[in-house]
Amino acid sequence: MNTPDDENSPSSSPEPHLILPAKPTGFMTRIRNYFLTGLVVAAPIGLTIWITRWFIDLIDTWFTPIIPADYQPDNYLPFDIPGLGLLIAFVLLTLLGALTANIFGRTVLNMGERLVGRMPVVRSIYGALKQIFETVISQSNASFREVGLIEYPRKGLYCLVFITTQTKCEILERVDHDELVSVFLPTTPNPTSGFLLFVPKEDIQVLDMTIEEGAKMIISAGLVEPPHRKAGEVLEPVPIANGTVPSA
């Protein structure tokens, strides 16, 4: 039987919780954090410069030999001119586009495509490549107005979609909905292919992210997530590790 003295004794009282001081960050931990922050900042810049230089050099090796040897700028200048082949490619492609825009050029192009269409393997490669370039370069991509979220392929699962326009005409007349929206559901990691869906307006959640941010998220399979912000809001730099880098 416990006595009042036993209850008030130090051995019967609960032990107080010890408040430990925060563990200080070690020197090597700070060095690692600074290194990772520098890597995050420098890697995209370095890779962009490297890929750009590689592309320019590649175009130069293709188009610079077109210039006769007597007119090569390297024969008259003590240094190389990077991008000369890129400039020649730009001029030639512009002239090709201008030539194709008239009746004669379109006729020649149609004859060439009909000839390619008779080749069993070549026509598939040419058709696929032409469709990809038309999708990527065509100005029709500007018709994507907003990024939306829909439940697909079933309730509880969500997909990013690009909102194109309001559905009209026969499709709207044949369904039991007052207002449908045409959306493009791209595939990952290739956003040039996908599905055209006609979704009731009330089933679409319009997001604040831009078209470019949505495309980056799809291409990266969700690894690159844009920060949540409202339209037109400018983000402040956010800390990464112990450094600070501007948010995308």
- Rounded to whole angstroms, the Cα distance separating 54 from 61 reads 11
For the beta carbon of residue 207, count every other beta carbon within 10 angstroms: 18
**Residue-wise over 173-183: b if at least 16 C-beta within 10 A, else e?**
eeeeeeebbbb
Q: What is the pLDDT along the chain (248 residues), one digit of tens a residue?
A: 555 555 455 545 555 555 555 555 678 888 988 888 888 888 888 888 898 888 888 888 888 888 787 777 777 777 777 777 888 888 888 888 888 878 888 888 888 888 888 888 888 888 888 877 776 665 444 567 889 999 998 899 999 999 988 888 788 888 888 889 999 999 888 887 899 999 998 999 999 988 888 888 888 888 888 887 665 554 454 444 444 444 44
Look at residue 107 in the predicted model and tell me its pLDDT. 86
- Alpha carbon 199 to its chain's center: 24
**Secondary structure, 3-state, the chain:** CCCHHHHCCCCCCCCCCCCCCCCCCCHHHHHHHHHHHHHHHHHHHHHHHHHHHHHHHHHHHHHHHHCCHHHCHHHCCCCCCCCHHHHHHHHHHHHHHHHHHCHHHHHHHHHHHHHHCCCHHHHHHHHHHHHHHHHHHCHHHHHCCEEEEEECCCCCCEEEEEEEEECCHHHHHHCCCCCEEEEEEECCCCCCCEEEEEEEHHHCEECCCCHHHHHHHHHCCCCCCCCCCCCCCCCCCEEECCEEECCC
- Rounded to whole angstroms, the Cα distance separating 191 from 178 reads 30
The contacts of residue 243 (CB under 8 Å, 6+ apart) are 33, 34, 37, 38, 41
Q: Scanning the structure block, which residue is given the tokens 């880098």?
A: 245
Task: Give this prediction's pTM.
Answer: 0.45
Look at residue 25 in the predicted model and tell me its pLDDT. 66
Torsion of CA 63, 104, 134, 163, to 10 degrees: 140
Domains of the chain: 140-226 (2.30.30)
Q: CA dist 247 to 88, 184, 213, Å?
A: 37, 28, 12
